[in-house]
């Protein structure tokens, strides 16, 4: 079996540990994704592969990762994203230097947050520079989490006076009427992911205080009708489950000094089969409209467990084979 022997330099135990991960978890992930076997003693490595090209590519990736390990702590997410760009689907064409997105740093309770990968960095840049922003793509790509982070940063910097987080309360197989409690208690489970993101950004106590003062409002989409939202950062999550009329209603709520982010996954629509998604319609109608941005995420942008990206790819391949949009 073809193999390559090489040494990573300079010799640095901490850097090597960062590269390898806990119990060599990063090396095992690289083996799985690149289809090679990796053995090492300190900084001396041997890579075995089915062909010489695969071994050479794996060496190139390890050398590149070793350089990165000098400047930042690597975790499974970081290695996974680099592998996606290096060896998964063909990476998206690089933007011209004049169009390279500015690296946006968002300050939240747990520290400074930056985009992981080109699409996340582009997404943050678009939100910072457009009034209406769409983040479309599979679960686990950070669409909602990054939008909430930008909203919290805007509130902390006093660029907006309030945060409004909205979701359509669409039934995914269950009936709202059979859920216990009053209307608030019935729709609260649909809004729970937004609470979770806020708690991580601000802490439970601060979120509770801001909710009590109506600085943060979390509500079903139906509650937006008839309102004009000025000086607000508004997020519509799970937008694939809006109707065309609901999407138009939401987009026309935007007032002066406000920013809107609309997130959704067109592969997880829970609307009746005959009803077109408002998110899909908006992507067709508003494409190219000045002041509106679209960021489309793919499986390689998934920042959850690497298996999630493979699951997304498997469903996309099945749907493509069935001729589905």
One domain for residues 33 and 124: no
Q: Determine the pLDDT at residue 140.
A: 83
Q: Which of 99-108, 109-118, 119-128, 188-197 has the lowest mean pLDDT?
A: 99-108
Determine the structural domain holding residue 11 and report its residue range: 3-87
CATH number of the domain enclosing 288: 3.40.50.300
Contact 175, 245 (CB under 8 A): no
- Residue 132 reports pLDDT greater than 90: yes
Is position 34 within any domain? yes
Percent of the chain with pLDDT over 90: 44
One domain for residues 134 and 246: yes
**Residue at a domain's end among 34, 53, 87:** 87
One domain for residues 275 and 190: yes
Average pLDDT over residues 236-246: 93
Number of domains in the chain: 2
Is position 96 within any domain? no
CATH number of the domain enclosing 43: 3.30.1370.10
Give the pLDDT confidence of 118-129 residue by residue, as tens digits: 888 899 999 988
Is position 97 within any domain? no
Q: What is the pTM of this model?
A: 0.66
Q: Determine the pLDDT at residue 10.
A: 92
Cα 142–Cα 193–Cα 304 angle in degrees, nearest 5: 35
One domain for residues 152 and 211: yes
For the chain, how many helices (H) and strands (E)? 11, 11
One domain for residues 29 and 164: no
Percent of the chain with pLDDT over 70: 84
Is position 92 within any domain? no
One domain for residues 68 and 147: no
Cβ partners under 8 Å of residue 138, min gap 6: 265, 267, 297, 298, 299, 302, 312
One domain for residues 50 and 138: no
Rounded CA gap, 207 and 212, in Å?
9
Closest CA to 279 of 264, 259, 301: 264
- Residue 13 reports pLDDT greater than 90: yes
**Residue at a domain's end among 34, 59, 87:** 87
One domain for residues 202 and 225: yes
Is position 94 within any domain? no
One domain for residues 81 and 109: no
Q: Determine the pLDDT at residue 80.
A: 77
One domain for residues 235 and 285: yes
Beta strand ranges found along 168-221 (DSSP E): 216-220
**Residue at a domain's end among 27, 59, 87:** 87
Is position 209 within any domain? yes
């Amino acid at each position: 079996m073809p193999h390559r022997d090489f040494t990573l330099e300079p010799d640095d135990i901490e850097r090597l540990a960062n590269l390898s991960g806990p119990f060599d978890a990063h090396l095992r992930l690289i083996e799985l994704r690149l289809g090679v076997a990796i053995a090492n003693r300190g900084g001396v490595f041997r890579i075995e592969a089915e062909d010489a090209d695969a071994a050479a590519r794996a060496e190139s990736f390890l050398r590149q990762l070793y350089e990165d390990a000098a400047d930042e702590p690597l975790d499974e997410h970081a290695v996974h994203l680099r592998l996606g760009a290096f060896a998964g689907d063909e990476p998206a064409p690089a933007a011209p230097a004049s169009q390279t997105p500015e690296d946006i740093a968002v300050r939240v309770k747990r520290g400074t947050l930056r985009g992981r990968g080109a699409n996340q960095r582009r997404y943050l840049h678009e939100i910072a520079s457009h009034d209406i922003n769409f983040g479309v793509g599979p679960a686990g790509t950070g669409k909602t989490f990054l939008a909430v982070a930008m909203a919290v940063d805007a509130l902390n910097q006093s660029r907006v006076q309030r945060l409004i987080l909205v979701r359509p309360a669409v039934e995914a197989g269950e009936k709202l009427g059979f859920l216990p409690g009053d209307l608030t208690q019935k729709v609260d489970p649909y809004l729970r992911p937004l609470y979770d993101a806020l708690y991580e950004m601000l802490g439970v106590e601060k979120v509770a205080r801001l909710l009590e003062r109506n600085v943060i409002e979390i509500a079903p989409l139906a509650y937006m009708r008839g309102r004009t939202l000025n000086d607000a950062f508004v997020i519509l999550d799970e937008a694939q489950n809006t109707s065309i009329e609901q999407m138009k209603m939401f987009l026309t709520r935007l007032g002066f000094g406000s920013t809107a982010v609309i997130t959704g996954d067109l592969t997880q629509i829970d609307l009746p089969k005959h009803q077109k998604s408002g998110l899909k319609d908006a992507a067709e109608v508003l494409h190219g409209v000045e002041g509106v941005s679209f960021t489309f995420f793919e499986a390689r942008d998934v920042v959850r467990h690497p298996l999630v990206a493979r699951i997304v790819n498997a469903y996309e391949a099945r749907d493509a084979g069935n001729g589905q949009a």
